Amino acid sequence: MKYDIILAGVGGQGVLSLASVIATAAAEAGFKVRQSEVHGMAQRGGAVMAHMRLSDGEIYSDLIGLGTADMVISMEPLESLRYLPWLSPEGILVTSTTPVKNIDNYPEETQVLEALKKLPSVCLVDDKALARDAGSARAGNMVIVGAASKSLPIDMTYLKKAVDKLFARKGDEVVQTNYKALDLGSQVS
Amino acid sequence: MSETVVLGDEAVALGALHGGVSSCYGYPGTPSTEIMEYLIENSQNGPLASWSSNEKTAMEEALGTSFAGKRAIVTMKHVGLNVAADAFMNGALLDIRGGLVIVVADDPGMHSSQNEQDTRYYADFARVPLLEPVNQQQAYEMTREGFDLSERMGVPVLLRLVTRLSHSRAAIQTQPPRAENALNKADNKQDWMLLPANARRRWSSLLGRQKDMIAYSEKSPVNSLELNESNRERAVITTGLGYNYFMENKGELTDQPSHLHIGVYPVPEEKIRTLAAHVKKLVILEEGYPYVERLIAGLLPRELKIIGKLDNIVPLQGELTPDNVRPALGLPERNAAVASSMTLPGRPPQLCAGCPHDDTYKVIKEVQEELEESTVTSDIGCYALGALPPLGVPETIICMGASITAAKGCAEAGLKNVMAVIGDSTFLHSGMTGLVDCVSSGSDVTIIIVDNETTAMTGGQTTILPSSRLEQVVKGIMGDGEHILTIPAHRKSHEENKEKLRKELAYSGVSVIIAVRECIETARKANKKRS
């Protein structure tokens, strides 16, 4: 059993904390986990991408091969398109529909959505609205994790445990908000 | 033993802590920064861990610790070793007492660097051993082993990381910690004084110990040779992460090749000869330069075919990947199966919204527009992002500290209105000496120190001296005078700042403008901590 995920977004969006919830849950569920990160210059407002590999056997490479990822998870719609070359034909793309327009030549939003809708397997998430429903505009990344959870080989109880572990020191209110964000995300079809 | 999930960098830090390290020195640089960050955070009651002004001072401090008989670690990125090279090359001649491990993180692919240099050449250059881990577990073990090896051979030991390992997380098993060495100053001071007569003797001794280093490398279980008797056609040599990408693809090979992995240097020559005698073709997968490939080309019989970077079957540039090693292994290329129906604009990194450097660059840009001719040199740090759109101000970015000295050269060659932009941390790292040169020759340059009170690019480490001392440092070099100005790097002072810059550009001689405002990231973090 092997599950490869490409994580994408824009520097500063919290892609790494999204990654750590999934990685923590996966480890708790008994998987071996390797996760590469982006640090330094590339983090500042630029495109960021990380590889995460889950397996019940040995994982050698930190990097995922082209056309072999089971899932691409993105916090930004344009960035999700950038990493399609890694997605396997059977793989699924889970992406936020909230654009980050910090470049002059950002394409028309409708154009981006059209391109996304053409994909064989895609889950579009209005994380912004759902995060607000959950009680915090900042819980968008947990909404995305929730939406991904339907396809991930990790049970929701482990994802909630991971939220507990990573957010407990911020207080029960934050934990509850993130639980709710996960649940709302998991209901996205 | 306990299992813990760590970054490659953190695995090295843990290896040092468990390996009985007493002093840890370094200068922040991606991808090496997290080693020292972890050490600083986790050594409250243990070893000393602190940032240094630059990589050379860090290296020299560590040599001092080793002289005292205690174990030391120095951390830096690959280009940092160039800064430390003088101390490093000479350190190889000393009679190392307390184990000295020099960790250098290379950046193939230049994720966050000016070049791709391969630290293995430095190990060869200085004639010292180098250890190269393939994963977090080896990073932990090799750091511990590095101290022992250093003490046994009496030389500094290099540990080479690459970005992909430094910044990747996986679980490791740790071993019980070892105690620190007792204070035990070198008894024979002749072996620590590189006067020519001593240095010649020490050089001879170092050359004499090469055979011990090779013997160690031949015996090391890391350098593992697996011969497949039934395949005499082709064999594979891997180094560093090349091992991982080979293993990733190995299952798809129908003819399992013999395989030698090299993780301990100098290279195990006997094992290479044995492997070469076994086959007609050698595939070489190494992360970085074609170091092993070039080295062994001379060792082997001419009829043996070598497939690697020198014939461009493995790319010479950038990181290895599970995909780009496939042609060398004779496997079909893997392609993107799902394509996007639109062309995507790039999204380069940029200065954060509200960054003080942005305000300073806007001042420079508007003043430049009034001038017939001007030149702006920049340095290595966040403010280098001012070179990208929409600002596009700096014209040179070379290496740490080079903005000031390059500006001096520009001005002395005859360019007018020359400005150098440099950060506070970079100024203290290697800009100060450039200022001394400018003052000494009375160069016509305007130096703008963008002081955001932190080392921002690498994540906000404390600057080696508090910012409040910067003006005093500059005054110490220039003498008191009206051409040292401190200005607020803020929109509110935009017009006054422009006027001050115009005035300093008009002055024929050295001016230093210190533009001060705290990095918005560190300010935000500090606020968060307080609330």
Q: Is B496 helix (H, G, I), strand (E, B) or coil?
A: helix
Q: Categorize the per-residue pLDDT at A14 as very low, low, confident or very high, splitting at 50, 70 and 90.
A: confident
A117 touches chain B (CB under 8 A): no
As a whole number of angstroms, the distance between CA B458 and CA B32 comes to 9
Q: Categorize the per-residue pLDDT at B1 as very low, low, confident or very high, splitting at 50, 70 and 90.
A: very low
A47 contacts in chain B (CB < 8 Å): 346-347
Please report the pLDDT score of residue B271 as a whole number.
96
Q: Which CATH class is domain B356-526?
A: alpha beta
Rounded mean pLDDT, A80-100 = 96
Q: Which residue of A has its CA nearest to B355?
A: A44
Closest CA to A122 of A152, A77, A92: A92
Please write the tens of the pLDDT for every residue from B247-276. 999 999 999 999 999 999 999 999 999 999
pLDDT at A43 over 70: no
Q: Is B21 helix (H, G, I), strand (E, B) or coil?
A: strand
Q: Which residue of B has its CA nearest to A106?
A: B345
Select the residue of A10, A34, A105 nearest B345 (Cβ to Cβ).
A105
B531 touches chain A (CB under 8 A): no
**Beta strand residue intervals within A11-145, DSSP E:** 32-36, 47-55, 69-74, 87-96, 122-125
Q: How far is CA A74 from CA A12, A116, B391, in A?
A: 13, 12, 29
The region that residue B255 occupies, defined by phi over 0 for left and psi between -120 and 50 for alpha, beta otherwise, is beta
Q: At CA B393, angle to CA B388 and CA B396, rounded to 5?
A: 85
As a whole number of angstroms, the distance between CA B155 and CA B146 comes to 10
B338 contacts in chain A (CB < 8 Å): 67, 84-85, 87-89, 91, 119-120
Q: Which residue of B has its CA nearest to A67?
A: B336
Please write the tens of the pLDDT for every residue from B329-377. 999 999 887 777 788 999 988 898 899 999 999 999 999 999 999 999 9
CATH level 3 topology of B2-208:
Rossmann fold (3.40.50)
Rounded mean pLDDT, B503-530 = 93
Please report the pLDDT score of residue B137 as a whole number.
97
Looking at chain B, which residues constitute the CATH 3.40.50.970 domain(s)? Answer: 2-208, 356-526
Q: Is B76 helix (H, G, I), strand (E, B) or coil?
A: strand
A115 touches chain B (CB under 8 A): yes
Q: Domain segments of chain A: what residues?
A: 2-186
pLDDT at B146 over 50: yes
**In this complex, do B112 and A64 lie within 8 Å of one another by their Cβ atoms?**
no
A66 touches chain B (CB under 8 A): yes
**In this complex, do A61 and B338 lie within 8 Å of one another by their Cβ atoms?**
no
Rounded mean pLDDT, B110-130 = 96
Q: What is the pTM of this model?
A: 0.94
As a whole number of angstroms, the distance between CA B84 and CA B89 comes to 9
Task: State the complex-level ipTM.
Answer: 0.90
Please report the pLDDT score of residue B290 as a whole number.
96
B30 contacts in chain A (CB < 8 Å): 39-41
Separation in Å, CA of B257 to nearest CA in chain A:
18
Better-scored residue on pLDDT, B43 or A127: A127
Q: Is B5 helix (H, G, I), strand (E, B) or coil?
A: strand
Please report the pLDDT score of residue B349 as a whole number.
87
pLDDT at A79 over 90: yes
Query: How many CA atoms, within 13 angstroms, populate the side-chain half-sphere of residue B196?
Result: 0
Q: Which residue of A has its CA nearest to B319?
A: A63
A120 touches chain B (CB under 8 A): yes
**In this complex, do A46 and B323 lie within 8 Å of one another by their Cβ atoms?**
no
Q: State percent of chain B over pLDDT 70.
A: 99
Q: State percent of chain B over pLDDT 90.
A: 88
Rounded mean pLDDT, B312-334 = 95
As a whole number of angstroms, the distance between CA B485 and CA B478 comes to 12
B455 touches chain A (CB under 8 A): no
Rounded mean pLDDT, A16-40 = 90
Closest CA to A96 of A1, A3, A166, A181: A181
B339 contacts in chain A (CB < 8 Å): 84-85
Q: Which residue of B has its CA nearest to A46?
A: B349
Q: Categorize the per-residue pLDDT at B236 as very low, low, confident or very high, splitting at 50, 70 and 90.
A: very high
Which stretch of DSSP H or E encloses residue B507?
Answer: none
Place of tokens 């150098």: B420
Please report the pLDDT score of residue A42 as a whole number.
60
Q: Which CATH class is domain B225-329?
A: alpha beta
Closest CA to B74 of B124, B120, B28: B28
pLDDT at B58 over 90: yes
Q: Give φ, ψ of B447 to 5 degrees.
A: -100, 125
According to CATH, what is the number of the domain A2-186? Answer: 3.40.920.10
Are B73 and B80 in contact by the 8 Å Cβ rule? The answer is no
The side-by-side arrangement of strands in the sheet containing B418-423 is: B396-397, B375-378, B418-423, B445-451, B511-516, B484-488
Q: Which residue of B has its CA nearest to A80?
A: B340
B458 touches chain A (CB under 8 A): yes
Which segment of A31-45, A50-64, B22-36 scores lowest on mean pLDDT?
A: A31-45
Please write the tens of the pLDDT for every residue from B457-481. 898 898 999 988 999 999 999 998 8
Select the residue of B167, B248, B352 nearest A37 (Cβ to Cβ).
B167
Please report the pLDDT score of residue B2 as a whole number.
61
Looking at chain B, which residues constitute the CATH 3.40.50.920 domain(s)? Answer: 225-329
Separation in Å, CA of B97 to nearest CA in chain A:
35
Separation in Å, CA of A27 to nearest CA in chain B:
9
